[in-house]
Amino acid sequence: MDYKSYVAQKLNIEGASCEEIKALIVTPPDTSLGDYALPCFKFAKLLRKSPAIIAEELASSFIVDDVVTKVIAVNGYLNFTVNRTTRAFKILIDILLAGENYGASSLGNGKTVCIDYSSINVAKPFHIGHLSTTVIGSALYKIYKKLGYTVVGINHLGDYGTQFGKLIYAYKAWGNREEVEKGRVKELMRLYVKYHDEAEKNPSIDDDARAYFKLIEQGDKECNELFKWFKELTLIDVDKVYKELNVTFDSYNGESFYNDKMDVVISELQEKGLLVESDGAKIVDLEPYGLTPCLILRSDGASLYATRDLAAAIYRKNTYNFDKCLYVVAYQQNLHFKQVFKVLELLGKPWAKDMVHVAFGMVSLEEGTMSTRKGKVVFLEDVINKCCEKALAVINDKNPNLDGKEEVAKAVGTGAVIFGALSSSRIKDIVFSYDKVLNFEGETGPYCQYTYARTASVLKKGGEIGDYSGYELKDQEYELLTELARFPEVLIQSAEKYEPSMITRYAVDVCEAFNKFYFDLKILGEEEVTKNFRLALTKATSTVIKNALTLLGIKAPEQM
């Protein structure tokens, strides 16, 4: 039963439709107040009464029945209590029947979402700073798929710019093919750092670097072969990390892909009279809209990020006909995306309103800041490996005879990294702490994985789940089922707000509710009907925890 619809249909509020009323109904944080609540504040202006009076009047006129057994008004809220046994059994059956599809929806059927995330730089390290964009984008990819959308994951590679001229210079001056093949990105970074050290002593080599980059643009065979090789070596390294993090992409079209697609954009800007000259450069003046000018071409005719992003947006619309295009990029680029989206709007693209910058805060380690030019970077692969090593040490201490402990440690260590990056609202800056993310007691990935392993252990010992009809529900069981019932709603909200942290918080809430149930009430050894119901509830909890972790890209080990 759709309880929200049922309640909304029984309410008669002048000037408000059934759908409008249903959309306002929420789940109270305290189940003792009721199972659902209607805040009456939005009706105050419409009905010219205080929210408290509206709630009181609605409560007195509502006729309770076998479905809604109690209605009370509390501080402007109309609270409803439903037949808890009926609702609990319905929730339980829904989850057990749906299994891994619980939470799935047809909400996005026929709609396409493009998500631009990770966007690592070719020949530069895949470092801790790339963690947020990678795991936020990947989680959103999985969430939208679960909701029925066609999703296109795009890795907009940073594969264009004078840094490649610098790298070619460095490779020719100090590089060795065998060493680069062996060390891949770490060796390329060593050469890049050496270049900047030398350029400080001899700035003239910057002219040579620019010349090499121009040769790439002009199609020089040797320079393009080196550039292609650097790109292949980078993708070999980063693909290992993507596999560890359960991250996938449908397109690796980077900046260089749009080189031959920018002229059309520039021509259209000129035709519409939007392109004006400023100190030799070409800009779109956005000052009338409260923004600084958007630089399209430098005075030497070179394109910029904005030029390529405009070309990329038009290509994506033409290719995928998206309903929404998300850019999971740090908040430092707020102005850039406001400019790009405004230029698209001025070009008369009605879909400019469907472009969204999903901004996030910065990730740093407790040791401090990073600099690629100085070689002060922390490779993401090293962070993952260190977490896996620490997880293995904990397992060796607490459960040394665990089967497949290396694989479990890898799942726990990697899960800790992902969960740690997604545990707070995405806009917050994060200081990454190994001890904090690997805590088995706190609001962490290992805590959720450990709870899942506990459910698996109970189910293994409990055996087949038999009949539990006629069982009388306990408060702890109802609270847990109420929490499990929130999952589909949390998925939709996390997609609407582009906020995967809502799922990490939800997973912790489910685990806490299960652990309260587990410690308060006996499962095994009880009489048959009680045991069967509690095993079924454990199975449903196990399903929801695993589904939530899977959406985050985290594995759920059966043993820990």
Residues classed as catalytic: 124, 127, 130
Compute the distance between CA of residue 502 and CA of residue 552 in angstroms, rounded to an integer.
Answer: 11
Burial class (CB in 10 A: 0-12, 13-18, 19+), 553: buried
DSSP per-residue letters across 276-325: EEETTEEEE--GGGTS--EEEE-TTS-B-HHHHHHHHHHHHHHHH--SEE
* Closest of 118, 154, 112 to residue 360, by C-alpha: 118
* Closest of 328, 357, 352, 329 to residue 342, by C-alpha: 352
In 10 A of CB 334, how many CB atoms? 12
In one letter, which amino acid is 87?
Answer: R
Compute the distance between CA of residue 199 and CA of residue 167 in angstroms, rounded to an integer.
Answer: 12
Q: How many residues does the chain have?
A: 560
Angle at 129 between CA 124 and CA 133, to 5 degrees: 105
* Closest of 426, 429, 555, 432 to residue 500, by C-alpha: 426
Give just the sign of the alpha carbon dihedral 65, 67, 68, 70. Answer: positive
DSSP per-residue letters across 134-150: HHHHHHHHHHHHHTT-E
C-alpha separations of 72 from 62, 64, 81 in Å? 10, 11, 9
Give just the sign of the alpha carbon dihedral 172, 173, 179, 183. Answer: negative
CB-based contacts of 456, cutoff 8 Å, min separation 6: 542, 558, 559
Q: How far is CA 434 from the centre of its chain?
A: 21
Compute the distance between CA of residue 446 and CA of residue 431 in angstroms, rounded to an integer.
Answer: 18
117: left (phi over 0), alpha (psi -120 to 50) or beta: beta
